[in-house]
Amino acid sequence: MREKLQKIARHPATKKAFMDMKPKKTLWGILGVVLFFIAPEIVAYFYSVDIVRYAQNGLAMHPTTIEQYNYDMLIYLFKDGISWFNLGFGVVLLVWLFF
């Protein structure tokens, strides 16, 4: 099994696919990684309690179905605070971007 996996990893098509997944070294590539992976976790670190409190207050006002769904999503996303996986993944992508 190990030999088979190494053979797949060394195959030129696999290497090409891996390089195609790599973010481009442009301003948009860097901003994309920062805005979609790192910035939300920084916001969650500092403001997760406030965001959850806001959503709970919104739910207390008997919102419409769509508003209720949005408040529930806010609570689901921010109730645990920071996601170390997303933050770590964003940092790994930034490191991969420059190497």
Give me 54's structure tokens: 């806001």
Identify the pLDDT of residue 25.
84
**Residue-wise pLDDT tens digits, 23-66:** 778 898 889 989 999 999 999 999 999 999 999 999 999 999 99
Separation of alpha carbons 44 and 81, rounded Å: 6
Residue 5 contacts residue 58 (beta carbons within 8 Å)? no
Identify the pLDDT of residue 97.
85
Identify the pLDDT of residue 6.
87
Give me 42's structure tokens: 């920084």
Residue 95 contacts residue 33 (beta carbons within 8 Å)? no
- Tabulate helix, strand, coil % of the chain (nearest 5): 85, 0, 15
Is the per-residue pLDDT at 69 higher than 80? yes
Q: In whole numbers, what is the pLDDT of the chain averaged over residues?
A: 90
Q: What angle do CA 91, 97, 98 make, to 5 degrees?
A: 100
pTM of the model: 0.67
User: What is the greatest pairwise CA distance in the chain?
Assistant: 60
Higher pLDDT, 23 or 91: 91
